[in-house]
Amino acid sequence: METMFAVAAFAASLASALALYAGSPHCRWPALQGWRGTGGWVGLALAGLSLWLWVLTLGGGAGLCAMLGTWMLAMMALPYLAALTSAGASSSRGEE
């Protein structure tokens, strides 16, 4: 049961980071442009859910650290992943 909570907490923190990235004006993925207005609120709600699930799984202090660690890792990785995928798409069309 705790493993399910940990997987759900990890997925919620990744989804939260993705929603917050989609809500930012710096999002490079065209598929996420529709989330520009609501991405921030959805991302914050998912962050709260992730925190709650991590705290249920690990306790207060460790849950907070685990949530912030996974959340920040995803927030730092998403722009780099978007840059890599959009750079590959533009170079395949012959643009620079």
SS3 27: coil
Whole-number Å distance between alpha carbons of 48 and 91? 39
Six-digit token string for 82: 């978007």
- Total domains in the fold of the chain: 1
The predicted model scores a pTM of: 0.83
Range of the domain at 65: 2-92
CA distance 89 to 21: 20
Amino acid letter, 70 = T
d(CA 25, CA 39): 11
pLDDT by position in tens, the chain (length 96): 889 999 999 999 999 999 999 988 888 888 888 878 888 899 999 999 999 999 999 999 999 999 999 999 999 999 899 888 876 555 444 444
